[in-house]
Structure 1
């Protein structure tokens, strides 16, 4: 008599529901609402946290040029870059890192959702899941690169027009943990690929 599996249909439905809800929330709050803000249909993102060159306080309107652009920079060391009435280009630059990050997260969640659906057949070790894991690994790797690069580049473009770029240094900080996670997922995808290939070869001999 075979051992009873600890994973049942209810567990699978619950997992699918959680992943589906995550896809919905990220799609709405991470992509749809920021895009609507960019096009001006709702209140846009108007601020960006930045690191200052020095720890001294920068006034709300540090330079005349910044005031002319409706730009404020307030804080000590870690400051807030704000725009009173951002135009389309500024709204896009402010929202772009969040939109891109959310889109990459959506790719991962959708692929995980599709993998969860393969559990309905009782077998997750299928060739499609190996490809999905590889795609997830590459997506995480892209996110590891874009996560620090996009905010730095868009902030530099925002500051260039307001004349306060001297107070905010251009800095990139990469996180090795996301690169490690991506490599682990890619390795897992290769394990899936080799496992499904071995099983197919074995079934062909029977």
Structure 2
């Protein structure tokens, strides 16, 4: 009876992961479809005034962008305890970096294509990564998760996270740079290409887990062979 409890716990955890993975897949799929049929895609859901086609990008303004935050409240600072005479609380400084939203009201066809690739790439990667995770969770509910097939799935997930994550990061940086750089407000924003190496770290962690999984599979095979 006690030997069945860990197995039941593993099956319950597998079912929970499978449900979460399924929800994540449906959410990613809905995001992809919404982007394709929206105002910057096939415009199936576009309103008559075309406002759905407006695309917004948050970026850091350049020095030529004159931003007036207004005059600060007239306060006096008490040097003894570092509080202001108006609020009686510690002084708070407000500064940069600031971000501004740029809204393109009438994007060009090329901007729409770049926008779609940008918006679809992330959810598509989620679909590709979550699918093998869901398969692994299902194998845990059906029986033993420590199989060679699940080991291959882990290596696949690691590769998708590393390669796909870096590609999506490059697409994100390139899309914002190209769209803003070709817009009428290009001189008002700091247009810089940025890439994240966080997917490489996450992928290496998953690869390490796959290596450990390989050891577990070998130990299970050796145990089965001796019985």
Report what 2:207 is aligned to.
186
Report what 1:99 is aligned to.
120
Partners of 1:12 and 1:163 lie apart in 2 by 52
Partners of 1:174 and 1:190 lie apart in 2 by 28
Post-superposition shift, 1:181? 1.6
Report what 1:50 is aligned to.
59
Post-superposition shift, 1:115? 0.6
Report what 1:162 is aligned to.
183
Of structures 1 and 2, the larger Rg is shown by: 2
Asked if the contact 1:55/1:77 (under 8 Å) is kept, the reply is no
**Aligned pairs (5 A) from 1:6-17:** 7=9, 9-17=11-19
Secondary structure, aligned partner of 1:128? helix
Report what 1:41 is aligned to.
44
Post-superposition shift, 1:104? 0.6
TM-score, with normalisation over the residues of structure 2? 0.70
Structure ranking higher in helix proportion: 1
Which of 21, 24, 38 is matched with 1:22 structurally?
Answer: 24
Question: Per-residue displacement from partner, 1:173-199 (whole Å, max 9, x unpaired)?
Answer: 444543322111011012112321343
Partners of 2:198 and 2:169 lie apart in 1 by 13
TM-score, with normalisation over the residues of structure 1? 0.76
**Aligned pairs (5 A) from 1:44-193:** 44=53, 46-54=55-63, 56-57=65-66, 77-193=98-214
Post-superposition shift, 1:8? 6.1
Post-superposition shift, 1:170? 3.6
Partners of 1:152 and 1:8 lie apart in 2 by 40
> Are residues 10 and 45 of structure 1, via their aligned partners in 2, closer, same or farther at CA, if it must alter by over 3 Å?
farther
> Are residues 180 and 194 of structure 1, via their aligned partners in 2, closer, same or farther at CA, if it must alter by over 3 Å?
same
Secondary structure, aligned partner of 1:95? helix
Partners of 1:9 and 1:181 lie apart in 2 by 26
Output the aligned Cα RMSD.
2.7
Secondary structure, aligned partner of 1:123? coil
Partners of 1:10 and 1:77 lie apart in 2 by 46
Alignment coverage as a number of residue pairs: 188
Secondary structure, aligned partner of 2:122? helix
Unaligned runs of 5+ in 1: 59-75
Partners of 1:187 and 1:102 lie apart in 2 by 25
> Are residues 163 and 35 of structure 1, via their aligned partners in 2, closer, same or farther at CA, if it must alter by over 3 Å?
same
